[in-house]
Amino acid sequence: MLLLSLAALTAVSVVRAATYDYIVVGSGPGGGPLAANLAKAGYSTLLIEAGGDEGSNPTYADIANFLESANDEASRWDFFVKHSDDPKRDLQYKYNTWDTGDGTFYVGRDPPAGAKLLGIQYPRAAVLGGCAMHNAGVASLAQDDDWNFIANQTGDASWEASKMARYFREIEKNHYRPSTEKEHGFNGWLSTNVGDPSWAKAEDNPGTRMLKRLGELLGQNTTTTSSLLENDILAHTPGKDQISSVYNMAYHIDAIGKRSSPNNYLRATLADPAKYPLTLALRTLVTKVLFSNATVPRAIGVEIMEGASLYTADPKHVPGSKGPVSQVYAAKEVIIAGGVFNSPQILKLSGIGPKAELEKFGIKVVKDLPGVGENMGDNYEASILGSSAQPIPAGLSTAMFRTQNAATKNRNIYAWCGPFSFEGMWPGFPNNYPNQWSCAVAHIGPKSHKGTVKLVSANPQDRPDINLHLFAENGEADVAELSSAISLLRASWLPAAGTSVAPIKELHPCPGEIGKALSCTEEAQREFIKLQVYSHHATSSCAIGADGNPMAVLDSKFRVRGVAGLRVVDGSALPVVPGAFPVVPTMMISQKATEDVLADAKKWV
């Protein structure tokens, strides 16, 4: 266990059986900011991270390198998931990953003889800053209804959308709007910025014409196309969720395009160890939470295993490798923030979860909580991908809109278009195509939350069994909304792009020449979407819920039900998928959780 408290992140000592006020497990968007906040409040805090630190590595620091960071074995944890309980259906997914047995992967539907099916890759980041260090940096807000849902379910008015907006302003350091705007924050730790919109000023540019046409399809005034990109996608304006509009994409990056993440905030906090009592343990795997023998069990610390690449999801893991096991203790609370897959795993290994599952693996039941590892949801993602006769010069543009078949009055699609391809994740992704042009979509408000995270053993080094159970509930409605979005985006391509880049050949979901009769029916388009949809925004596997709800893992203050001194603060706590991208909403709940934790600080002796 490397215990660190300097900005240079050099090892200073190895300390076991130490006691801190708080122990935070996981340094991502939930745990990282919370640990820094607790230290800044004067409480000794141990932050435990299973990975290392890549904050100075340009692969991670420069947002333009995000494809390399997501593929980098320095931080990558490979989870392999199922999309359903139907193996035949899942085998139709184009990018299944197979272990060839010679140290390489095969990706596709025609594996070599003897290859072992691993599943659908779902990489997570074991690194200081968590998945905010390997993502594309997209900054997006939750819908107001997402926050109000929690308030209504729990009766806790502090979750109301009008009150949650404050947490975004507190953490934000905005770089693209006037500092007088009340909708934004300008003194927080999280930098936000937008891409360069100057490309859209060339009205004859095919990409600009496509942007203009999309604006027209969404009912916007397109007199000056570039003005569409002045719309602020991060504004907390009244009724924002009912507005269909084109936007410039926003990112958690600074003024020069450097990634802004919990890594930056933690490094800044660690830079003054005399003032802020934050200790960082890197390359340390938490194996379970320790509890007192009381009528109401209280979390008193964690058991840890020290060493690099100890978890089997790490591609650098050496089978059979282990590290020394020891304990560290918390005088006040233990806070789990391991992410949507690892937080429920840690709880279960600690004796908190469905009784039958725990007993199956010989784990002593501390609290029977059937909702642990259940209720998992995710944004469905799909795309329309084409190849044009000539390159289409353009940057990225974003559209948020409501399809006519949406279940509510709220917009249900977040789309982004540009000269890229994104078809999901697999080892070495993405594919690149000649003169590629794509519009990708993330489905807002998915109606199925049936995903599960289940143990495969009592060994904390084993990655769990993960089944997303896509489309298990209201699947046809979700597929129909995605299909409607694809059809609208297709309509913005030709003839708007013009003859200079024609023909544009659609590669999927309906292969053929854009502008001519579709090569597939609506039913075929929907079937393609259903089989090839992908995702990487899972949430809700340790969900907040109402008193009396047997599937509620947490109360509205992030406290694990039935025990004391234990909380979960990460995306797994959210009972619904927050908007299109959960990273910023998770940072917001980290800020909220700080208040909840500090409000209880004095009750612990």
- Phi-psi map region of 565: left, alpha, beta (phi>0 left; psi -120 to 50 alpha): left
φ, ψ (nearest 5 deg) of residue 456? -110, -15
pLDDT digits (tens, 9 = 90+) for 504-553: 999 999 999 998 878 899 999 999 999 999 999 999 999 999 999 999 99
Instruction: Provide the pLDDT for residue 533.
Output: 98
Contact yes or no for 529/482 (Cβ under 8 A): yes
Cα dist from 413 to 396, 420, 464, whole Å: 16, 19, 31
On the question of pLDDT at 6 being above 90, the answer is no
CATH of 2-58+140-153+263-372+540-603, one of 3.40.50.40, 1.10.10.10, 3.50.50.60, 2.70.240.10: 3.50.50.60
Residue with tokens 């397109």: 222
pLDDT digits (tens, 9 = 90+) for 375-386: 999 999 999 999
Residues 6+ apart with CB under 8 A from 526: 479, 480, 483
pLDDT digits (tens, 9 = 90+) for 102-153: 989 999 999 999 999 999 999 999 999 999 999 999 999 999 999 999 999 9
Q: Which fold has domain 196-248+377-532?
A: Cholesterol Oxidase; domain 2 (3.30.410)
Tell me the binding residues.
127, 135-138, 286, 571
**Integer Cα distance of 510 and 415 in angstroms:** 18
pTM beyond 0.85: yes
Contact yes or no for 343/335 (Cβ under 8 A): no
**Integer Cα distance of 533 and 76 in angstroms:** 22
CATH 3.50.50.60 domain range(s) in the chain: 2-58+140-153+263-372+540-603
pLDDT digits (tens, 9 = 90+) for 435-480: 999 999 999 999 999 999 999 999 999 999 999 999 999 999 999 9
CATH 3.30.410.40 domain range(s) in the chain: 196-248+377-532
Q: Tell me the three state secondary structure of residue 300.
A: strand
Instruction: Provide the pLDDT for residue 11.
Output: 36
Tell me the binding residues for FAD.
127, 135-138, 286, 571
Instruction: Provide the pLDDT for residue 2.
Output: 54
pLDDT digits (tens, 9 = 90+) for 299-352: 999 999 999 999 999 999 999 999 999 999 999 999 999 999 999 999 999 999
What would the mean pLDDT of 398-405 be, rounded to a whole number?
97
Helix extents (H) in 419-543 = 475-490, 522-532
Q: Tell me the three state secondary structure of residue 170.
A: helix
